[in-house]
Amino acid sequence: MTQLVAGVDSSTQSCKVTIRDAATGAVVREGRAAHPDGTSVDPRHWWDALGTAVADAGGLTDVGAVAIAGQQHGMVALDADGRVVRDALLWNDVRSADAAAQMVEEIGRESWVARTGLVPVASFTGTKLRWLRDAEPDNAGRVAAVALPHDWLSWRLRGYGPADESPLGPDLDALATDASDASGTAYWDPVRREYDPDLFELALGRPMRVAGAEPTADTVVVPRVVAHDEAMGTLAVDVTLPHGAAAPAGLVVGAGLGDNAGAALGLGLAPGDIAVSLGTSGTVFGVTATEVLDPSGTVAGFADGTGSRLPIVTTLNAARVLEVIGGLLGVDHAALGELALQAPAGADGLVLVPYFVGERTPNRPDATASLLGMTPGTTDRPHLARAAVEGMLCALADGLAAVEGTGVTVSRLLLIGGAARNDAVRTVAAQVFGRDVLIPEPGEYVASGAARQAAWASTGALPSWDIATTTVPADPHPEVLEQYRAAAR
C-alpha cells in the first residue's frame, strides 16, 4: 500500500503543502495559500494559511506523517497562556540592527563565531530579543517562551496553543525544534549542538530554560531540539485547523527544518554541492561534514537537516530586484529577461548595486540601491534589465566566493527558486559564476525536503528521490563581477 507523507513550506510569502508517495517522491497533490506582506506579522496568519493550504491539498486524513519547514530567525514570543505577545519580527526586519551591533561589541566577533558559528546581524532571533528588551520592556516582561515560525506552527499542529483555541492547551514544555532552525537563533552552538544560556540572557536579559527541564523562577522556555530523523511526536487527538482542515490522531509530526536546510534535503545535496536560491531574497548554501568558521560573519555555519553542516550566505535582495526593475519598465519577469539578453555581458558598464531594502550580506541594513555607469548609450531598457539580472547574481557570486573561502569545495552548482526559471537569469548565471550551472526540474524543494524528513521520521529511513537536471554550460565573463565589486565597495 502506498504511504503518503506531507511537507510544508511556510515561507515569508506563502504556505505550500506537498503530499507525496513516501517511497518514490511522486507528487500526489499540492496546495498553497498566501501570507500577508510585511516584516512584522501576527503568526495567526501562518496558522490560517496552513489550514487553507492543507485544505487546498485535499487534507491530511490519508497521510501518515508531516513535517514543517519554515522561514528562519522569526521571533515568536509567547506568554504563559500560549498567546503571542506581539507580532513576530521576521528575518528581514532590520529594526534590530543597532541591537546586533551592540551585542557584537559586547563579546567580540571571534567569540560569537566560536560559540554560535555566526556573527549577529539584524536577521537573527537573538538580536530581535535584544530589541524587544530595550524597545518594549513591558512586552519583554510578559515573554514566557520564544519559538521560531516552524516551531510554533508544529506546536499548533500537534494540538497545543491558547486554551480556547486548541485541544491540548498552552503546554510550553511541548515546544520543539530542530538543529537547523536552532542554529539561526544566535544562542545555539552547532558544534556542541546545544543552547548557550549566557547568550540568550545577553539578548533578552532573562535566563532561559529548555522545554521539559525543571522549571525555575523567571525563566523563558526555548524549544527542545529534536534529532533530524526523529519525530516531535504523534498526534494524540484529532486537531482541527482553520477553515475546516483536519489533522487526524496518529499523524506523525517530524522535527521540521529551517527553509534552507529543507531545500538542501529536498535537493538531496551532498558534500561538494552548492545551491543558489533565487526567491525574494537570495541564499547560497551547501552541505559539508567539516566545521565552518568565518570571523567576518559573511558565512554562517548552520546545521543542516542530516547531522552535517550547512554553510550559508543570505542576501535580502534577489528576485525582488527583478520585480522592482520590471515594475519600473512595465514588464513581467519573462519580458525583463528578453530585454536583458538584448544587451551585452557587463551592460556596457552599467551596474546596479541592488540594496533596495538594505542588505544583510554585506551587513548594510541602512543601505539603498544605486545605479552607476549611466551614459546616453546605456540608459535604455535593455541595459537596465541586464544590469538588474547581473546585480542580483553578482551579489550571490560574492556569497559563493565567501563559502569557498571557508574551505568548502564546490563540485556542482545548482540554481533554484522562481527566478531560476528565467532563461536570461540562467544565461547570465553561467557567465557571472563562470562554471556549469545545473537547473533542477521545477519544484517546491523546501516542501519536498520537509516531506522527505516526514518519511524519515515515519519509516526510520531517509528515502532517495530522483531529480532531473539540465546544465547551462559555463561561459565565463569575469569582467562582470569585477565591475560590480568596484561599484559595491
| Residue 165: partners with Cβ closer than 8 Å, 6 or more residues away | none
- Please tell me the distance from the alpha carbon of residue 398 to that of residue 408, in angstroms, as a whole number: 14
Cα 148 to Cα 40, 225, 256, 345, 387: the distances in Å are 13, 12, 11, 42, 36
Task: Output DSSP code: residue 307.
Answer: S
475 part of the active site: no
Task: Output DSSP code: residue 249.
Answer: T
| Residue 152: partners with Cβ closer than 8 Å, 6 or more residues away | 43, 46, 76, 78, 175
How big is the chain by its Cα radius of gyration, in Å? 22
- Please tell me the distance from the alpha carbon of residue 285 to that of residue 396, in angstroms, as a whole number: 10
Question: Which cell is 431 given?
Answer: 557567465
The DSSP line for 342-398 is TS-TTGGG-EEE--BTBBTTTTBTT---EEE---TTT-SHHHHHHHHHHHHHHHHHH
Among 283, 285, 251, 282, smallest CA distance to 265 is for 285
Task: Give me the residues paired with residue 257 across strands.
Answer: 69
Angle of the 478-487 helix axis to the 381-405 helix axis, nearest 10: 90
Among 473, 288, 316, 478, smallest CA distance to 395 is for 316
Beta-sheet strands, E only, within 126-281: 145-147, 176-178, 188-189, 194-195, 208-210, 220-222, 224-226, 231-234, 239-240, 246-247, 252-254, 257-258, 273-278
* Cβ proximity of 69 and 10 under 8 Å: yes
**Active-site hit among 259, 273, 304, 398:** 259
* Cβ proximity of 455 and 18 under 8 Å: no
β-pair type (65-70, 252-254):
parallel
Q: What are the residue numbers of the active site?
A: 259
